[in-house]
């Protein structure tokens, strides 16, 4: 079992729809959770981070965390073609060790 698993892609949604990206992790000692966006040929950039159970909203993005189920998700509302990218889930322990999932590629069709 991988330490961090993301739903297999690619994921395709029409413009204006909600895109849902999911991630599960195996290390119960994980304390901080991140979603990064990576355009082809570019470096990852931070979209959202979440530390506590529940929802965290930032504009069109909502991160959800459920530590009991070891599950973290990212919702993108009103998806735009510019949201087309690979989304990476990352999980950190307090010691600083960081583990990434393999990513989910999202395509938003106009």
Partner 1 sequence: NAGVTQTPKFRILKIGQSMTLQCTQDMNHNYMYWYRQDPGMGLKLIYYSVGAGITDKGEVPNGYNVSRSTTEDFPLRLELAAPSQTSVYFCASSFQGSQPQHFGDGTRLSIL
**53's tokens:** 């159970």
Question: Cβ 52 to partner 1, closest distance in Å?
Answer: 12
Q: Which is nearer to partner 1, 96 or 110 (CB)?
A: 96
Give the span between the Cα atoms of 60 and 29, in whole angstroms: 29
CA 57 – CA 61 distance, rounded (Å): 6
The residues of the shown chain that bind partner 1, judged by CB under 8 A, are: 4, 6, 31-32, 34, 42-46, 49, 51, 88, 90, 92-103
Instruction: Report the nearest approach of partner 1 to the CB of residue 47 (Å).
Output: 10
Distance in Å, CB of 94 to partner 1, minimum: 6
Please tell me the distance from the alpha carbon of residue 32 to that of residue 34, in angstroms, as a whole number: 7
């Amino acid at each position: 079992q991988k330490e961090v698993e993301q739903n297999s892609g690619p994921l395709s949604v029409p413009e204006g729809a909600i895109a849902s990206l999911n991630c599960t992790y195996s290390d119960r000692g994980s304390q901080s959770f991140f979603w990064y966006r990576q355009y082809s040929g570019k470096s990852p950039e931070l979209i959202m981070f979440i530390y506590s159970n529940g929802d965290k909203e930032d504009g069109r993005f909502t991160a959800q965390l459920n530590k009991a189920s070891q599950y973290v998700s990212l919702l993108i509302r009103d998806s735009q073609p510019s949201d087309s990218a690979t989304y990476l889930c990352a999980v950190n322990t307090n010691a600083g060790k960081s583990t990434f999932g393999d990513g989910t590629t999202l395509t938003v069709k106009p």
